[in-house]
Chains A and B, each alone.
Chain A
Amino acid sequence: MEKFTRVTGIAAPLMKANIDTDVIIPAKRLVGHQRGELGAFAFEAYRYRPDRTDNPDFVLNLARYRGAKILITGEHFGCGSSRESAVWALAGFGFRCVIAPSFGDIFTNNAFQNGMLLIRLPKEQVDRLAAEIESGSTPAMTVDLQSRTVTAPSGAETPFEIDAERRQALLEGRDEIGMTLARDADILAFQERDRAARPWIYQTGQTQVS
């Protein structure tokens, strides 16, 4: 996966709670499109008018926020469906980092698997960052994973916490499948013990269903 160390860029505020993955990428785009094509459909329902022209009222369409790399948003971002394409759509749109008070649990795992940094901050801090982005002359910020800080346009630094294991994986751009397979002896030993304790789990020879 792509490494994440430090990103400087436009930050865009989409201050709404419970933005679900159906809104981030609608289900009908899950078939017939490749991973790399999904950016065009991110936030489709909000982003376009019925004639497919840009909806001028949608915050991510404002000239000021074009090319945003950092998304600031409300509680429980990415709730709902497990579709990893929500992350691919956000990445395709240009985002590398999302800052919110909380995130959907499955979305969180999906984001970190794709080199996208999620930063959880208390709601007051998120609201403050959003307000600063909205009022500042250039809505740009820096997110530094090495030092675990967000630097607002004013230069004020906000520290954030992140799971040590996740941080390391992002910094290194790790391949987790390869790392887990390096422990295959442990997995096989576990299965052997477990097969003796719970044989029915592994006996999937079944009566035939027709």
Chain B
Amino acid sequence: MVLQERSLTLFDKVWSSHVVTGLAGGVSLLAIDRHLLHDLEGGASLRRIAERGLKVHNPELTFGVPDHAVATAPDRRADSTPNSSRLLRELKEGSEASEITYFDLGTEGQGIVHVIGPELGLSQPGMTIVCGDSHACTHGGLGALSFGIGATEIMHVLATQTLRQTKPKTMRIALEGKLAPGVAAKDVILATIGRIGTDAGNGHAVEFAGTTIRAMSVDQRLTVCNLSIELGAKIGMIAPDDTAFSYLAGRAYAPKGEMFDRACAHWRTLPSDDDARFDVEHTIDAATIAPQITWGTSPQDVIAVDQRIPDPTRETDPQRRQAMEAALAYMGLTPGEAIEGTPVDWVFVGSCTNGRLSDIREAARVVAGRKVAPNVRAWVVPGSESTQRAAEREGLDKIFLSAGFEWRKAGCSMCAGINGDTVAPGQRSVSTTNRNFVGRQGPNARTHLASPAMAAAAAIAGRIADARKLG
């Protein structure tokens, strides 16, 4: 049989080079290059496989870090929150027993699992990376095939360093054009979700491409890929290029010297071939995107900050209309009114979406020399200990503190409220996170997703505000 030279996508190349063997029914046994454990499931998963008498197959490819349950108060300790002491102990002791690298509280490696992966150079192009957390899609910003898994799959990876997976379809989202001033990566991805819907990527591995993406920094690409799961796609990827390679050079866990060059030569073969075919293609004009803010309880419920809150009575699909009405009731918003000017109680800058150094700089630029409005509580929670230290070296902590923000320790914090950092019932928050789901930031908390600059502007104005007007 003569094999036809086929044009392949980035996703196809990484997938097929990791197939250990094909199983029945179109399922592949996929080799996993990096397995990242966090405090919620990590320790329990290690315990469960030990109870079954199994060993960790490749401890050198497995890394553990506490993030979801950790306290973020400046004087925090492992036992600062009631649940964290048990979860952290279990993960730490389980990691030690299995010879897994564990990034403990108080060390530079600690932070949100999807922030530290790229930051430490653990996440690299062409890798398969999994984590018991759906925002594992973030690492795709460096050209990795990375996705979230559940508790049973975590055990499968621990015991076998593989996963049984059905190959998804492929989708390319081409983002074209130069971003307008004051428009962030977060705005681009929120606008994209608003345009094509929160289930558009279901069953697909998405590649973000186009001139807008090529011009982005790695931090910005990580933000875009972070919200792939909010498009319904568990995998989001961006072709690795010189921007990605220079980002990785010199990072703690990235290859060094000659090995870096060898890795780089491999990475250069990964981008999709010019004539590669995707099952679905979308093209979005990114030049026209304005700063975004969500109004509802799904990331697709999003508008530009200068737009009006949508009116459900204009919606023809009855199920969609009901969902809009329920979302507006939950959010306490009136259809037809301007969203700008809506008073807010909380501002949260952080998370695996927007907790990196560049995000904190963006927020600081808006905050510098100004004061947080008296009706607002505002927090910055850096995505990692090393981000925090870098920001402090630049004096960014001072800018926030003197404006009236709290400057806290690294973790997931108010993104999901698991450590007890929550927004009170009925209160409204502008948050740089990725989910505005019902109850996500606490029971009856009202979450508006936005970029770091927009969140900072809301803190200063005390209301939803257009960051561009603050300059």
Chain A residues engaging chain B, CB cutoff 8 angstroms: 15-18, 20, 22-23, 26-28, 30-32, 44-45, 74-76, 79-85, 87, 102-106, 109-110, 113-114, 163-166, 168, 176-177, 180-181, 183-184, 186-187, 190-191, 194, 198-204, 206-210
Contacts and interface: CB of A to CB of B under 8 A. Distances in A.
Contacts of A18: 198-199, 298, 323
Given A110-B150, A191-B161, A201 B33 contact: yes
Contact of A200 (B29, B109, B255, B322): B255
A105 to B, nearest CB: 4
Given A74-B319, A165-B26, A186-B21, A45 B133 contact: no
Contacts of B31: 187, 190-191, 194
17 contacts: A17-B319, A17-B323, A22-B439, A27-B417, A83-B150, A87-B150, A102-B202, A104-B202, A176-B152, A177-B52, A181-B54, A186-B21, A187-B31, A191-B58, A204-B60, A206-B253, A209-B120
Contact of A102 (B21, B156, B199): B199
B152 A28 contact: no
A164 B418 contact: no
B153 A204 contact: no
Contacts, number: 201
A183 B21 contact: yes
Interface residues of B, number: 85
B166 interface: yes
A115 to B, nearest CB: 11
B319 A79 contact: no
B160 A181 contact: yes
Contact of B69 (A16, A23, A31, A44): A31
Contacts of B232: 76, 79, 104-105
A105 B168 contact: yes
Contacts of B229: 79-80, 106
B312 to A, nearest CB: 14
B160 A184 contact: yes
Interface in B269-308: 298
Contact of A163 (B26, B109, B156): B26
A183 to B, nearest CB: 7
A126 to B, nearest CB: 11
Contacts of A105: 168, 202-203, 232-234
B98 interface: no
A205 to B, nearest CB: 8
B462 interface: no
A93 B24 CA distance: 32
Nearest to B131: A82
Contact of B166 (A15, A30, A163): A163
B24 A23 contact: no
